[in-house]
Structure 1
């Protein structure tokens, strides 16, 4: 059963922008084979650890040893009280001056632009973020809604291929229900989407721009296969345009033991009308070594640790942004995950460097992926904002699963 979109959509890749950072022009994140083809990707900056970046076997081994040695305990979720509310989803594209953002859990956000554009980021609606639904991390906070409760979606943006950000079942159902929806992915993922039966897919490299144009082609009328009430989009604009930009982040990719880093991980910018959003997806900021317990790894002894320069480049060349969706969870133990997962202190630095006016925390409150207590990220976020001389609330916040904020 298809959603009742009244738009057809067209995507056009734009000519390379002139303001690409000098150190990015040679595509240092590409790893090429003997024939000059891209065979995989890498994080190009010392902040990721360079050659220290962990292989799949190394990461699994370190995680298992940390668990066996008691250095990576499983968080207690018996008294977890992460609020979940029924989302206030739109029934029309009525004109508004506000950007509306609804958190649907983990990294998934549903964003409505004042132009009428609707974008869904990293949709995963399953109970488990695994290849199967009988094993692996299970949601400890229920989903705010079912995928079938969503109104028509125009664009779906995917940060990378890890299971907590890319669900085969969810994207297939979204494409089935939204035949005109366009999917935006990093290099290498187009093949996976087409093999999944999804043809409206545009794969992009870092610093590449695309234009999305939605054209109203039919009146909002009741049909046998619609799920949206008739005439709710009658006042929608005739044309909606947006610029989608694929941007760097510091992470990894892979869905099996053999495809590590063969598809590109990315952050994304979406601008439509006067409003813009930066979606961090999943990213690290700096590689932190093992330090004594309770040590401030932003203190003087560690102030010289390399920081990822790409976020400042994003802010300088694509900012400012009205809203940042920035990861704050899955960071402990720090020495193991810091290169690929930001903690709240990293997130605040990323927030400042990307020049986001406001931000919401993502990548927490849904699955147990690491060993920090599940309600710790919001508390540390407030501490990190205060340490940076910023308001503890009202600027970079968290919200209930299903809650909508306006910007």
Structure 2
């Protein structure tokens, strides 16, 4: 394996949970992040979303060493100009920061989801997926953040450096699924991190509340902590309508999103991942492709969808522009207008 392939392999395996953060899990037989009662989605050691997904390090090796149809990202993929959000918004304004990071400004509340300002989505400074464009809002231009939501602990969603910087600046409340608070507080015990199970409803203000919703994914920060912290999506209830934010998910049979659409829909807005999906034999369990994302939008009965998780970090084999191209074709085939499901670039905003 040449140096470039080796660095790519190190970065991908780090992202997928195949190299070293959870050393504590080697020396303990128990979950290093969470100890709690056995429930429908927790067996006492690991969390589950009800599926049987068995891909592991051998499958990563197979993918990385096989003859691949990989289209490399450019070194730079310029984004629109950086956005400068207002201090507060009483209606609804959403701006994409890049990859899966969003700023929601609604009913006077400033809410960040999966904020990642790191140069690499990796535990390493020298290897791993490197961003090809700047964040859509400069950190100094972020308004005061009231609440941070984290969907799961993969490095492209949980960036400890960014969370520490936000705590130092704003001391926001940070809400995440079970076990992730332990990871965050290991960086700084003073961070206001709290963790909850699926279907927990929390008030963020007098006007805004959230529900941690199930999703088809998994978690890991290292080789020995697979599924030891929970993952989720978020239903956000606001005066401007219900919003749904997925950080990562597979499609599976689509029944989960039919149920969520029936219970919580219709949604004013859904932020859905459309990238990191090739090769399908490996990625299909945990990452949707654009065709599946459109099905999820319709199942949720979402009036508007915003596509993310593409165009910033190369995590998989498809080229940088393939997700929006595939999304455009899927919408046309379904007879849906392009503006119904916008593929977001860093710095682009949407307002209700």
- Smaller-chain TM-score range? 0.7 to 0.9
Q: Does 1:185 align with 2:180?
A: no
Q: Does 1:40 align with 2:46?
A: yes
CA contact (8 A) 2:131 2:312 kept: yes
Q: Does 1:356 align with 2:302?
A: yes
Aligned to 1:250: 216
The one-character-per-residue Cα deviations of 1:178-212 (angstroms, maximum 9, x if unpaired) are 12x11110111122222222442221111111112
Deviation, 1:40, is 0.9
Structure 1 unmatched ranges of 5 or more: 1-25, 33-37, 214-239, 287-306
SS of 2:98 mapped into structure 1: coil
Q: Does 1:403 align with 2:342?
A: no
Deviation, 1:123, is 0.4
Q: Does 1:172 align with 2:171?
A: no
Q: Distance in 2 between matches of 1:209 and 1:130?
A: 31
1:368-387 pair list within 5 angstroms: 368-387=314-333
Higher-helix-fraction structure: 2
Q: Distance in 2 between matches of 1:385 and 1:27?
A: 39
Deviation, 1:259, is 0.7
Aligned to 1:339: 285
Q: Does 1:394 align with 2:345?
A: no
Q: Does 1:90 align with 2:81?
A: no
Q: Distance in 1 between matches of 2:246 and 2:298?
A: 13
The two structures have a TM-score, normalised by structure 1, of 0.73
CA contact (8 A) 2:70 2:319 kept: no
Q: Distance in 1 between matches of 2:39 and 2:266?
A: 24
Q: Distance in 2 between matches of 1:273 and 1:309?
A: 28
Q: Distance in 2 between matches of 1:176 and 1:59?
A: 40
Q: Distance in 1 between matches of 2:101 and 2:311?
A: 12
The two structures have a TM-score, normalised by structure 2, of 0.84
Aligned to 2:55: 54
SS of 1:41 mapped into structure 2: coil
Q: Distance in 1 between matches of 2:69 and 2:225?
A: 26
Deviation, 1:94, is 5.2
Aligned to 2:132: 140
Question: Residues 329 and 82 from structure 1, CA distance in 2 versus in 1: closer, same or farther, beyond 3 angstroms?
Answer: farther
Q: Distance in 1 between matches of 2:207 and 2:194?
A: 16
User: Across the two proteins, how many residue pairs are aligned to each other?
Assistant: 314
CA contact (8 A) 2:251 2:288 kept: yes
1:280-319 pair list within 5 angstroms: 280-286=246-252, 307-319=253-265
Aligned to 1:4: none
Deviation, 1:75, is 1.7
The one-character-per-residue Cα deviations of 1:233-288 (angstroms, maximum 9, x if unpaired) are xxxxxxx43211100111110111111110011111111224322101111113xx
Determine which structure has more spread, i.e. the larger CA radius of gyration: 1
Structure 2 unmatched ranges of 5 or more: 1-37
Q: Distance in 1 between matches of 2:200 and 2:160?
A: 25
Q: Distance in 2 between matches of 1:29 and 1:255?
A: 19
CA contact (8 A) 1:82 1:365 kept: no
Question: Residues 316 and 77 from structure 1, CA distance in 2 versus in 1: closer, same or farther, beyond 3 angstroms?
Answer: same
Q: Distance in 1 between matches of 2:342 and 2:213?
A: 23
Aligned to 1:304: none
Deviation, 1:27, is 5.0
Deviation, 1:348, is 0.4
Name whichever of 193-202 and 164-173 sits farther off: 193-202
Q: Distance in 2 between matches of 1:59 and 1:366?
A: 25
SS of 1:29 mapped into structure 2: coil
Q: Distance in 1 between matches of 2:167 and 2:266?
A: 31
Aligned to 2:11: none
CA contact (8 A) 2:89 2:105 kept: no
Aligned to 2:186: 195
1:157-168 pair list within 5 angstroms: 157-168=149-160
